[in-house]
Structure 1
């Protein structure tokens, strides 16, 4: 049996984290880490492949050739790629995971300047695929969302290769069913899942998000380790309401509270997961607005001696601030989220006197 060639697309900077999840779940052999992409092979694609929590999406690799370059005539090569690619195995895989389809839609992205736009590339491929499959093609040029029953194709040009891929799930993996409510600054779910995995949460651990927003971090932690004790606080009533709605049915406690004055005993928290409100998307309020340093002092107070914190921080200066408060960074990834490039950092709890 020929091994399926699969590609997990992800947030920039999480490639190694996605590869680690693929290996931990025994989903296949990782063959290449590229720009926002992890290539892997599997002789028996497991149903869990569509449950990769740290990936934005997962595709069957249909065809790959050298990058077509910047000139418009290269669009003819894209159409030719779609015309002659072997579609049989990827289509079987897609139908096994997502059922029948009624049409074709294509999403394209490329690195570097080109003398054509993404819609030109999408239409060249999409029209060729639709002709081959005898079905409708939905162009994204109109700005309208494609019908949910259309098969999702992905085209990437990274300066070295052109890759044509087919989504094997019915919809992108990053679109979580639990996302009933959202608020400004809501964290991208695969990034939250990566943070939960980095934290090393074990059964019985008390996990805290002191600025929980819409609850994304705690929900991803609950799916990763359902036997943990999960608690979130937020000063915003809208955030508390959104988090409770999103976490409905999960063992997560959400309450109103100020991250600079946590209603928790000293050393009572094993893991902290947080995207603190340092002003990138959400301004700090309450006691933090007057004294941001209180956040770090409270974090230090509530963490157990062997505890850890996984934080999304906007600037290297924030990592330095954590170090000044005694936290020890053990893993750092720079990621691209919503146009910014924050740091995903794992900190070991500060040493206690007498340790």
Structure 2
């Protein structure tokens, strides 16, 4: 079974490392990891992937002109029936062969994206594929209702790929995420940071700026979150992080040299502003983190710039893009 996992730009290698636990990685390209795996629900357990799809067709020879859209339509017309395989992977069940179709018929959507300059839009791509799909509803002028079949169409270089979403909704929409706060981290990105830090169930992990609790909820181990904002702590608890408490990140109420890992998405003073002692002196966070880490401990952080004080030594920096902006995942150790 051929699948692809969609990713945040820059963490493809981290997604590939997780995928290798359930199948064979075949290819990595822009925001995608292609792999082969048995058709089981394990494909929906991937934490670092934004979404997972069954590959239906690969079409080559896609250029920059609108005339190339005809190739996409022909590829869509030859798509195999993936409903049964999708159900074996934990997706919505395939309808019985003898069941009558719904009165309104199935709803099919296509979500397209491409890399580079083209003389057509993403909606042109979607409509080109949709022209050959039953129940297609265009996103060009209307909001698509809940779709029975959601296809992802990506074009990179001269290659177009049509793939069917496995789950009933995008994988990054976590069931636990009932509430959020400004600056809340994207769940697969939080899972990728935990993987970068090598967090295991035997470790003790803290997030001193826990916000909605996403970083810890995507991590194994003994977890507890702290935040200066009472509203953020209430949000984290509502999302299922029971061990969350109000505390100043610059004066952490944690014993020195007691923690295996610190995971943190500190306030950048954009969506979320610094509170407590960090409002006057942001660097207090890092000195506080350095104090509570074991000598062999690590801190993993999401930063606008890969810059830390001398009390911490950077091991690894991963440059990614979030909402079109460059961001860095930074792994550091006590200096």
- Say whether the fold is shared (TM-score over 0.5): yes
Number of residues of Structure 1 aligned to a counterpart in Structure 2: 323
Note the C-alpha offset of 1:235. Answer: 1.2
Alpha-carbon distance in 2 for matches of 1:260, 1:145: 47
Per-residue Cα deviation, 1:293-330 (whole angstroms, up to 9, x for no partner): 111110111111111111111113x2xx24x22x2322
Q: 2:49 aligns with which of 43, 46, 55?
A: 55
Distance 1:108 1:203, change over 3 A: closer
5+ residue gaps, structure 2, are 96-105
Q: 2:192 aligns with which of 169, 194, 205?
A: 194
Alpha-carbon distance in 1 for matches of 2:132, 2:174: 31
Kindly report the root-mean-square deviation, in angstroms, between the aligned alpha carbons of the 2 structures: 1.6
What SS class does the counterpart of residue 141 from structure 1 fall into?
A: coil
Equivalent residues in 2 for 1:95-174, closer than 5 Å: 95-96=87-88, 97=90, 98-100=92-94, 102-130=106-134, 136-147=135-146, 149-174=147-172
Q: Quick check: 1:15 aligned with 2:8?
A: no
Alpha-carbon distance in 2 for matches of 1:304, 1:84: 58
Note the C-alpha offset of 1:145. Answer: 4.0
What SS class does the counterpart of residue 129 from structure 1 fall into?
A: coil
Equivalent residues in 2 for 1:1-355, closer than 5 Å: 4-23=1-20, 25=21, 27-42=22-37, 44-85=38-79, 87-88=80-81, 90-96=82-88, 97=90, 98-100=92-94, 102-130=106-134, 136-147=135-146, 149-221=147-219, 225=220, 228-247=221-240, 252-316=242-306, 318=307, 321-322=308-309, 324-325=310-311, 327-350=312-335
The match for 1:353 is none
Per-residue Cα deviation, 1:21-53 (whole angstroms, up to 9, x for no partner): 011x2x2111111000001112x2231111110
TM-score of the two chains, using structure 2 as the length reference: 0.92
What SS class does the counterpart of residue 138 from structure 1 fall into?
A: coil
What SS class does the counterpart of residue 45 from structure 1 fall into?
A: coil
What SS class does the counterpart of residue 18 from structure 2 fall into?
A: helix
The answer to whether the Cα contact below 8 Å between 1:232 and 1:253 also exists between their aligned partners in 2 is yes
5+ residue gaps, structure 1, are 131-135, 351-355
The answer to whether the Cα contact below 8 Å between 1:140 and 1:146 also exists between their aligned partners in 2 is no
Alpha-carbon distance in 1 for matches of 2:259, 2:61: 50
The answer to whether the Cα contact below 8 Å between 2:317 and 2:331 also exists between their aligned partners in 1 is yes
Alpha-carbon distance in 1 for matches of 2:325, 2:231: 24
Alpha-carbon distance in 1 for matches of 2:178, 2:206: 22
The answer to whether the Cα contact below 8 Å between 1:67 and 1:157 also exists between their aligned partners in 2 is no
Note the C-alpha offset of 1:205. Answer: 2.1
Alpha-carbon distance in 2 for matches of 1:191, 1:329: 19
What SS class does the counterpart of residue 242 from structure 1 fall into?
A: helix
TM-score of the two chains, using structure 1 as the length reference: 0.87
